Structure formats: C-alpha cells, structure tokens
C-alpha cells in the first residue's frame, strides 16, 4: 500500500541553528534514499504560500496558508509498504531524527480514476 507522510513543521523546527539542521537533513536524506520511499517533496517556507479559496460565490486570492496555525506543512513523503505498521515505522524513525513537530500518515487512494 502507498501512504503519504505529511511532514509538519513549526517555529521550533524552522529556527534551528544551521549546523543542527544540516545534521538532521543528512540523516533524513538517508531515510529518503531507501527503496520503500517512492517520492518526496520539500516545500518552501509557509511565508511563500498563496491560497485560492471559494467563498460566498466568489473565488478569492489571499496571501498566506489556508490554515493559519503555528504548525504548517513542510513536505510530503510517499512510501510503498505492506501496511500501516510499515508506514508507522518510517514516520517513527523520522520523528526520532527530527525530535519535534509531527507527521500525519494518510493512505493513498489507489483507484486512479478521479471520483471513484
């Protein structure tokens, strides 16, 4: 099964000293290079976000993320594993390395046709 790991960051993670961040990034890179990781995306800082929303019959463009929160999405990782326990193991390992914030695990719909 495929799972998306939604990697959340917060201010604590963002404001880490550069050496620490480099060390953690290197260790995370090792996890991301494994065969069960089939894809990943690292997002730019949340300040760069733009949101298009639909409200009261109109499409509106706003600066900033959709949800205004102390926690924000930092990236996606897609893993291909046997079951939820496999995804939990990868997420658990990443959290050990990151030592902060959270990872949300979501199963991926395998039917390719939209609307199924």
Partner 1 sequence: MLEQVFRDEWGRVLASIVGFLGDIELAEDAAQDAFAIAAERWPRDGIPVKPTGWLITTARNRAIDRIRRERALAIKTEQLVRDMRDISEETMDETAAFPDERLELIFACCHPALALDAQVGLTLRTLGGLSTEEIARAFLVPFETMSKRLTRAKHKIRNAGIPFAVPPDHLLPQRLDAVLAVIYLIFNEGWGGGRIDLSAEAIRLGRAVVELMPDEAEAHALLALMLMGQARSAARFRGGELVLLDDQDRALWNQRQIDEGRKLLERALTLHGGGPYIMQAAIADLHLQQPRNWEQIALLYRSLEYFTNSPVVTMNRAIAVAELEGPEAALALLDRLELDDYRYYHSTRADLLRRLGRDNEARAAYARALQLTEPGPEQRFLDRRLANLSDSADQHIGS
Number of residues that bind partner 1 (CB under 8 A): 10
Out of 21, 83, 99, 104, which residue is the one contacting partner 1 (CB under 8 A)?
83
51 binds partner 1 (CB under 8 A): no
Site residues (CB under 8 A) for partner 1, limited to 91-110: 105, 107
84 binds partner 1 (CB under 8 A): yes
Min CB(83)–partner 1 separation in Å: 4
Nearer to partner 1, 87 or 94 (CB): 87
Out of 19, 63, 68, 85, which residue is the one contacting partner 1 (CB under 8 A)?
85
What's phi and psi for 65, nearest 5 deg?
-75, 165
Give the closest residue to 98 by CA, choosing from 82, 75, 67, 66. 75
DSSP 7-60: EEE-HHHHT--HHHHHHHHHHHHHHHTSTTEEEEEEPPPGGG-EEEEEETTEEE
Q: Which residues bind partner 1 (CB under 8 A)?
A: 1, 3, 82-85, 87-88, 105, 107
């Amino acid at each position: 099964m495929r799972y998306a790991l939604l990697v959340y960051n917060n201010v604590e993670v963002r404001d880490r000293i550069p050496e620490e961040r480099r060390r953690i990034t290197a260790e995370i890179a090792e996890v991301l290079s494994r065969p069960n990781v089939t894809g990943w995306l690292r997002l730019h800082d949340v300040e760069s976000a733009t949101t298009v929303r639909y409200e009261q019959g109109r499409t509106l463009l706003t600066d900033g993320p959709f949800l205004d929160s102390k926690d924000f999405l930092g990236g996606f990782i897609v893993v291909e594993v046997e079951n939820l326990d496999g995804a939990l193991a990868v997420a658990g390992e990443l959290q050990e390395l990151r030592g902060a914030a959270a990872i949300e695990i979501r199963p991926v719909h395998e039917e390719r046709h939209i609307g199924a």
